[in-house]
Amino acid sequence: MAMKNLHELGVVEAAAAIRSGEVTAEALASALLERARTFSRLNAFVTLDADQVMAAARRADQQRQAGQALGSLHGVPIAFKDNINTADMPTTAGTPGLRAHRPRTDAPVVKALKAAGAIPFGKTGMHELAFGISSNNSAFGAIRNPFGDRHIPGGSSGGSGAAVGARLVPASIGSDTGGSVRVPAAFCGVAGFRPTVLRWSQAGIVPISSTRDTAGPLARHAVDLAALDAAVTSDANPVPMKQLSDLRIGVPRSFFWDDLERETASMCEADLDVLKRAGITLIEVDLHEVAALNKAVSFTVALYEVKRDLDAYLRDEGIAPRFAEIVADVASPDVKAGLAPLLNPATAVPVEAYREAIDVHRPKLISLYRACFAENKVDAIVFPTTPLPPPLIGENDSVTLNGRAVPTFATVIRNTDPGSNAGLPGISLPVGLTSAGLPVGLEFDAPAGRDRELLSLAIALEQVLPASPTP
């Protein structure tokens, strides 16, 4: 395989090529490191130690040559978002107060992937403390979109999206609280998977909300997402394959398909036609109540739990500063504006409001989704991942949508946030480029716990949807 093509290998392709001896882990790692140097202007990585990566690759080749048992991901480089604990690299969560943080042990997600033979390929940049969607980080610099370096890559896992989209690494593990895996996937032309909450361990990951947080992978192929999920969860069962003609997918027109940017709307509508022509049954479903229920849950839960959960993480890691000190050192104005009010009891989320969100509104949101899936007998629902393509870097507060100024953060996560609050699994798949060359994504959400079925659906859909575009 020509050296110039190695960066195009997906996770499963790379693992097979290394296992067969067609490619060495050292050659693959070397090619990716060279590409990362070439496209360093994207600022996708916070930490990338070439010597460390090459030493691990050489060990992987030696193990293969010695006839040792090989894991499913043997020799495959995988990047990790910088809020996921790694014992041999710092974990900063993109914030000055954790610049010196070096965890004692790997997060369970990292341990599982290393046990499967994966090679950690650096730490990717992110929106500070994962509290935003632009990855315009004032402490570590803005991360740039590989399809247009004046545009954001999405967030908070922006470095993961940029690295996978630019072919710097076959896959990266990010985290998703309200869209932070799926938004960068959509904006960077790749696939991103948010598992059902608690399917992937939350331990060893700098948190926002234990109710909403989950790690999840970004890759260029759905089969790679399935392979990474299998390695992390030890779910060796093959994904159940379905014929396209057996699939029933719900289309929730109200809310999810409202007020879309013109090209986003036309591209996603065209892809619904593609699905119908492929034999998939599309069914109009009603989720109009989702807007009010999601609003009653979303920020109330996140802004209450972040102080509690971040303090618990800092305590468990043996870090002396607590939430107040971390917030005092926050560099990004938007993150400071969101977190600083939580330090004052007068402006913090009252416990009564939190309990109502958790005990009343969230169960109603979950029931709404459960009834939609059951009553319509649909495998998933489909909608544009984001209402618009990637905004420009610097449009932190507002962005123009259909001639109006709208809030950037709330608009970008409008469609991804409800499923997050309900704990659902979701996958964003690339569906092409706008006339300006910017990626658009289409999301599919499934019932909680139906992760392998959703991965199977995504693999089937890739037969008819556009391939991950090359920047």
Average pLDDT over residues 372-398: 98
CB 387 within 8 A of CB 264: yes
Write down the catalytic residue from 81, 114, 123, 307: 81
Asked about 81 being catalytic, the answer comes back as yes
Residue 438 clears pLDDT 80, i.e. is over it: yes
Average pLDDT over residues 402-422: 98
Length of the chain: 471
Per residue in 130-177, pLDDT tens? 999 999 999 999 999 999 999 999 999 999 999 999 999 999 999 999
Q: Please confirm whether the linkage preceding 245 is cis (ω < 30° from 0).
A: no
**Distance separating alpha carbons of residues 85 and 89, to the nearest angstrom:** 8
Residue 355, number of CB atoms within 10 A of its CB = 12
pLDDT of residue 205: 98
CA dihedral angle for residue 184, residue 185, residue 186, residue 188, rounded to 10 degrees:
80
* pLDDT classification of 419: cutoffs 50, 70, 90: very high
Query: Residue 352 has which token pair?
Result: 């009564």
Query: Residue 93 has which token pair?
Result: 């969560």
pLDDT of residue 242: 81
Percent of the chain scored above 90 by pLDDT? 97
**Distance separating alpha carbons of residues 75 and 120, to the nearest angstrom:** 10
Asked about 72 being catalytic, the answer comes back as no
What is the DSSP code string of 113-176? HHHTTPEEEEEE--SGGG--SS-EETTTEE--BTTBTTB---SSSHHHHHHHHTTSSSEEEEEE
> pTM for this one?
0.97
Strand 248-251 relative to strand 281-284: parallel, antiparallel, unpaired?
parallel
**Distance separating alpha carbons of residues 286 and 255, to the nearest angstrom:** 10
* pLDDT classification of 1: cutoffs 50, 70, 90: low
Average pLDDT over residues 281-305: 98
Helix%, strand%, coil% for the chain, nearest 5: 45, 15, 40
Per residue in 313-370, pLDDT tens? 999 999 999 999 999 999 999 999 999 999 999 999 999 999 999 999 999 999 999 9
Write down the catalytic residue from 134, 135, 138, 156: 156
**376, exposed or middle or buried, with CB in 10 Å at 0-12, 13-18, 19+?**
middle
Per residue in 206-249, pLDDT tens? 999 999 999 999 999 999 999 999 999 998 778 888 889 999 99
* CATH topology classification for 8-292+353-462: Amidase signature (AS) enzymes (3.90.1300)
**Distance separating alpha carbons of residues 274 and 278, to the nearest angstrom:** 6
pLDDT of residue 240: 82
At how many degrees (to 10) do helices 11-20 and 50-65 cross? Answer: 50
pLDDT of residue 238: 81
CA dihedral angle for residue 471, residue 135, residue 203, residue 215, rounded to 10 degrees:
-40
* pLDDT classification of 380: cutoffs 50, 70, 90: very high
**Distance separating alpha carbons of residues 189 and 94, to the nearest angstrom:** 23
Write down the catalytic residue from 72, 135, 180, 428: 180
Higher-confidence residue of 278 and 242: namely 278
Percent of the chain scored above 70 by pLDDT? 99
Asked about 111 being catalytic, the answer comes back as no
CB 382 within 8 A of CB 274: no
